[in-house]
Amino acid sequence: MSDLVAKDLSMVFDVGSGGQVHALKNINFTLKNGELLSVLGPSGCGKTTLLNIIAGFNRPTGGAVYLGDEEIEGPGVNRGMVFQQGALFEWLTVSENISFGLRMKGGTSKGSQKRVDEWLDIVGLSGFGNVPTYQLSGGMQQRIALARCLINDPDLILMDEPLGALDALTREKMQALVLKIWKETGTTIMIITHSVEEALLLGERLFVMAPRPGRIHKEYNLPFAEMGVTQDTRDIKNTPEFIQTREEILTMIWDMEEEIMGQT
Ligand SMILES: Nc1ncnc2c1ncn2[C@@H]1O[C@H](COP(=O)(O)OP(=O)(O)OP(=O)(O)O)[C@@H](O)[C@H]1O
């Protein structure tokens, strides 16, 4: 079982003429195995920098991140990524996309096909296995991206605005799917989003980050993700507690944006 631990994590970028940007300063947290974390904050607060360090794409200038006993020093198969655009192989079929990682690892074709069929079922795409990916809608492509990531059984899934390009209705359906997958697989998930509503629904933990320097401004422990596994997510979004927390966070981020505008 692999907890994700960030210890005194800092990231400073040199921006020319001796200038520096403190994209992250002294970030400390532990994300326990199986937890679902959403990260929210105004533009430039370091969300993507944090995700890139955990993915192993960037090395921090201070501190370290650990997954289980191992320090993250580069990309690894124990972490899966889902981006805003599915980043699928358009010339492959749905099944070929989903089984891509298994084939890279040399999985047997019979065993692989069974698992692909299971994942097609979980993400609601049974019967679409032989369809070329480019023929599918954005929502369907994100379902494939989720399945392609999860079939490899990663310890941690990192999602960067995974539902940001979808229309409102598809987005709501996909939020429910993310919760279902989280519950069924028990995978640890970290999701970056610009939507306060989405962060509230999809985070049993939620970090609101602040910029200059990038840091965790406030953490919430929330009941909505757990509720969303069994209840209609629309009903949850209409509960007084959800609305009150949403307004509190919107005001918090609004104030940060105002402060940034005042400084520039
Ligand atoms: N490669 C880089 N070189 C210089 N500065 C960078 C680099 N990457 C990020 N930054 C700066 O670090 C800060 C944090 O950027 P980051 O992209 O992580 O923020 P973010 O919260 O993801 O923003 P957004 O919501 O707009 O995507 C910003 O001030 C950004 O300009």
Q: pLDDT digits over 174-184, tens only?
A: 899 899 999 99
**DSSP assignment string, 41-53:** -STTSSHHHHHHH
Whether 213 is in the pocket of ligand 1, judged by its Cβ within 6 Å, is no
48 C-alpha to ligand 1 centroid (Å): 7
Q: Output the pLDDT for position 113.
A: 83
Q: Which residue of 20, 45, 49 sits with most ligand 1 atoms within 8 Å of its CB, as the best mutation to test the pocket?
A: 49
Between 117 and 83, the higher pLDDT residue: 117
Kindly give the residue spans of alpha helices, DSSP state H, lying in 72-159. 94-98, 100-104, 109-122, 138-150
The CB density around residue 26, as the number of other CB atoms within 10 Å, is: 16
Q: Output the pLDDT for position 108.
A: 60
**Residue 212 CA: which ligand 1 atom is closest?**
29
Q: Is the ipTM of this complex over 0.85?
A: yes
Separation of alpha carbons 262 and 264, rounded Å: 6
In this prediction, residues 100-115 reach a mean pLDDT of 74
Please state the pTM of the whole predicted model: 0.92
Identify the residue whose C-alpha is closest to ligand 1 atom 11: 23
Nearest Cα residue to 201 out of 217, 220, 170, 222? 222
**Residue 24 CA: which ligand 1 atom is closest?**
14
10 Å CB burial of residue 204 (0-12, 13-18, 19+) is buried
Whether 215 is in the pocket of ligand 1, judged by its Cβ within 6 Å, is no
Structure tokens at 205: 């933990």
Between 209 and 123, the higher pLDDT residue: 209
Q: Which residue of 20, 45, 193 sits with most ligand 1 atoms within 8 Å of its CB, as the best mutation to test the pocket?
A: 45
Q: Output the pLDDT for position 16.
A: 85
Check pLDDT > 70 for residue 69: yes
**Residue 51 CA: which ligand 1 atom is closest?**
18
Residue 120 near residue 114 (C-beta atoms within 8 A): no
Residue 155 near residue 77 (C-beta atoms within 8 A): no
Q: Output the pLDDT for position 174.
A: 87
The CB density around residue 129, as the number of other CB atoms within 10 Å, is: 17
| Residue ranges of the chain assigned to CATH 3.40.50.300 | 34-59+69-78+157-210+222-264
In this prediction, residues 214-240 reach a mean pLDDT of 95
**Residue 46 CA: which ligand 1 atom is closest?**
18
Q: What is the mean pLDDT of the chain?
A: 91
Q: Output the pLDDT for position 89.
A: 86
Residue 61 near residue 12 (C-beta atoms within 8 A): yes
Amino acid found at 210: A
Q: From start to end of the chain, where are the E strands?
A: 4-14, 20-31, 36-40, 62-67, 70-71, 79-82, 156-160, 188-192, 205-210, 215-221
Task: Residues 34-59+69-78+157-210+222-264: name the CATH superfamily.
Answer: P-loop containing nucleotide triphosphate hydrolases (3.40.50.300)
Q: 240: helix, coil or strand? A: helix
Check pLDDT > 90 for residue 70: yes
Q: Output the pLDDT for position 248.
A: 97
Q: Output the pLDDT for position 45.
A: 94
Residue 213 near residue 20 (C-beta atoms within 8 A): no
